[in-house]
Structure 1
Amino acid sequence: MTTPALAYKVLTGAQRAALLADGRFAGAPIDLADGYIHLSTAEQLVETLRKHFAGQDDLWIAAIDLDALAPQVKWEPSRGGQLFPHVYAALPLSAVIAEGPVDWLDETAVRLPGSDTPGTAPA
């Protein structure tokens, strides 16, 4: 499997504010409980939003440069056996190459920050 150079972290407004203020993000409660920061690929992002953030407002997507975090990133099986990028360290603001609010283009796609390509749900 060729791993992408970018992955995405969904943040609440409060988590985004903390990342911007502190210059790092230690993780959401689920990340802290699991011992790593959960990220999603562009293809996994819509399902992640639906499964873990349904009905929530004030959500943000951060595009993460995985090469900048290479030693701390592990690709591990999760939902349905898919490989997900997990970061075994705090997420530094310097690894965030773009960010923006969750912007649904339709029921199956969201706008990816810093890209004209939408993240879409698998067919």
Structure 2
Amino acid sequence: MATPGDAKPTYIYKLIPSSSPPPEPLPAVLPVSELDQSSGFIHLSTAKQVPNTLKFFFAGEPRVYVLRLAYDPLEEKKLIRWEDPKAEVCGPRGGEGMFPHLYNGLELGKDEVDSVATWERREGEGWEEIAEREKDWLIY
């Protein structure tokens, strides 16, 4: 689990930059990022972690695609590992706990994705504001 005392998430999220939009309709297997390929797993975030992940890793992006994945089916197949983020990448991220990582041979596709949202920033708007605006879709 993310940290002791945290509730089990209903969904976990994959963030995709505007430069790599997911194909429509979603294929059986989506292309994975260079970061995921080099790490050997797919980086994911909980709903609580999404705003800071956007802030640190998608700061220059005008748009992101947010893939919502149902947690239970992935956990039942023992494909999720909860691991510490590497602080050397963006410094300590206090209060966010462990991050979910998908270990399934780098295959994420339509069978795992519950829903896809496109989030766009308006001029002067930060990702925290977008996450707040999308709080009904961003389920914990």
Cα RMSD for the two superposed structures: 2.6
What's the TM-score once normalised by structure 2's chain length? 0.69
1:1-123 pair list within 5 angstroms: 1=4, 2-13=7-18, 14-17=20-23, 20=26, 22-70=27-75, 71-78=78-85, 79=87, 80=92, 82-89=97-104, 90-103=107-120, 107=126, 108-109=128-129, 110=131, 111-112=133-134, 116=136
Report which of the two has the higher share of helix. Answer: 1
* 1:39 to 1:19, Cα distance in 2 relative to 1, 3 A: farther
2 CA distance for matches of 1:10 and 1:101? 10
Tell me the alpha carbon deviations over residues 12-69 of structure 1, each in whole angstroms, 9 at most, x when there is no partner: 343411881x322252110111111000111110111111111123421011112121
Cα distance in 1 for partners of 2:34, 2:67 equals: 17
Equivalent residues of 2:29, 2:108 under 8 A apart: yes
CA 1:19–1:3 in structure 2 vs 1: closer, same or farther (change >3 Å)?
farther
Look at both structures and tell me which one has the larger radius of gyration over its CA atoms.
Answer: 2
Cα distance change of structure 1 residues 18 and 72 upon mapping to structure 2, 3 Å threshold: farther
Q: Decide which structure has greater strand share.
A: 1
Q: How many pairs are equivalent? A: 116
> Would the aligned equivalents of 2:21 and 2:65 in 1 still touch at CA under 8 Å?
no
- Unmatched 5+ residue regions in structure 1? none
TM-score (norm 1): 0.77
Q: Is the 1:8–1:61 Cα contact (8 Å) retained in structure 2?
A: yes
Q: 1:76 to 1:61 in 2, by over 3 A?
A: same
- Alignment identity in percent? 27
Q: Give 5+ residue unaligned stretches, structure 2.
A: none
Q: Contact (CA 8 Å) 1:15, 1:28: kept in 2 or not?
A: no
Q: Using CA pairs under 8 Å that are at least 6 residues apart, name the structure with larger relative contact order, 1 or 2.
A: 2
